[in-house]
Amino acid sequence: MFLTRYTVELACVAIALASSFVLGSAGYEGVQVPLGISSEQSLASLSSSQFTTLRHELFPHHSVRVKKSKFCDETVNAYTGYIDVGARHLFFSFFESRNDPLKDDVIFWTNGGPGCSSSLGLFMELGPCRIPSSNGTVRHPESWNTNANIFFIDQPIGVGFSYADHGEKVDTTEEGAKDVAAFVAIFFEHFSQFKGRAFHMAGESYAGRYLPLFASAVYDQNVKLVAAGMTPVNLQSVMIGNGMTDTFKMLLSYYDMQCTSVVVPPIYDISTCVAMKATLKRCEKWMKESCEDQYDFINCGAAVKFCQETHFFPYYKTGRNPYDMTKTCGDGTSNTDDCYPEGRQYLSKPSVRELLGVDDAVDPEYHSCSEETNEAFFASQDMLHPTKHYVAALLERGVRVLIYVGMNDWCANYIGNERFTLGLEWSGQAEFLKQELRDWIVDGKSVGKTRSFRGFTYATLYGAGHLVPYDKPKESLEMVQRWIAKQPL
């Protein structure tokens, strides 16, 4: 069996931040909205002192609690709430566009882990504010809600301030996709100002596994919505940053990242690199036969364990930052908790937790990632089920896909991601392969390379690591603005 650390750190979101509003799990106070509520419900009509609970007869086991909330950026309307699935409760926050919320697109964002809060994206990368210290937040000028309405979701249960009443857990992406798709449908159905609006699903790291399945569930669910007289969700695209979309190609890319000069000079001695290279063909053959051609729980796990011990784990003894090979972490090791600020003190403050309404059942000390959730996904070998077929199926149905990668990242690096895009089997593969990498320009300067054909785009960003919006906020915002406007990079 492969080690839990592989799943956390290879998926590369072992750091995160969280924010949530929670009511007591024994019962929910607030406005109860009956089944089949009119779709004319307006966000502006929501209470800021109590939750409004939304239900729909098409999803009898799901409901959504939502209320107005002034936090992070008081220049826009913000809303927080929960997706309630029986005894399971998933937190989300929603920020309207700074430009024109009545016309701008809607973006869904999730971080990865598996088991880490999407508040990493909210407070550290692309959200309306950042946490520079335990004293509070400051406005982030390059937020992705500059021209878009945006969701941040803590999923699955047990992540961030999401919780379960009786110890329930989710341990596969397939199961999580059902809850996300139901939430998306309920939200759009109840708030008519967003019905039919262009919708994009975005995220990074283990979201390379999450998003193709989440987006596929949303797309397939549209048939059910139309049959029930509901407006289908206008899913336009998927955006994956430094994603773990093809675990097997990523494992084989570590030799290039560590033993050639693609980012930094070789970091190992010659004998180590020779030994690593000698296992490449064996790893490729074993993983293809046991994981891709015909999935075998025991043999696939054994293949990955063997290959990670040679190609993956040695990096953590180098002291280099796994999210940016050009840097070291705070304590001189690769302990990811010391690589970036987390805002842990701020989000653990009793006054902040009281403001957010965090349930007393939640640990009073904030944790960015859930080890229990990570171990559950590890035990199910969720990462070892190929995701590429979902990406291909979305492309065939006209859903655009953007794969963007910070070039300094080690763990979900550009070598592995490019190999994934080139190897993806879909009807546009031959033409995609013919496209040369070209510069994409911001303010007259090349900020990376890109290749694109018929809705499938691969793009790199110079000087960025795993957390692209953190390292390159201006360039990443420009990328997203062009993408949702259907303009070439």
**205 carries an active-site annotation:** yes
Assigned fold of 1-489: Rossmann fold (3.40.50)
**409 carries an active-site annotation:** yes
pLDDT at 462: 98
What's the sign of the alpha-carbon dihedral 156, 158, 160, 162?
A: positive
d(CA 120, CA 115): 12
- For the question of whether the overall pTM of this predicted structure is more than 0.85, the answer is yes
**162 carries an active-site annotation:** no
What is the residue-level pLDDT of the chain in tens, covering all 489 positions?
233 333 333 354 332 222 222 222 333 345 544 433 443 457 778 888 788 888 888 888 888 888 888 888 888 998 888 888 888 888 888 999 999 999 999 999 999 988 888 888 998 999 999 988 777 889 999 999 999 999 999 888 888 888 888 878 888 999 989 989 988 988 888 888 899 999 999 999 999 999 999 999 999 999 999 999 889 999 999 999 999 999 999 999 999 999 999 999 999 999 999 999 999 999 999 999 999 999 999 999 999 999 999 999 889 888 899 999 999 875 545 445 556 655 677 778 887 776 666 677 777 777 778 888 888 888 899 899 989 999 999 999 999 999 999 999 999 999 999 999 999 999 999 999 999 999 999 999 999 999 999 999 999 999 999 999 999 999 999 999 999 999 999
Catalytic position from the list 119, 466, 471, 476: 466
d(CA 347, CA 364): 9
Catalytic position from the list 73, 154, 382, 409: 409
d(CA 93, CA 193): 18
pLDDT at 341: 56
Closest CA to 477 of 144, 250, 192, 114: 144
Catalytic position from the list 205, 216, 290, 368: 205
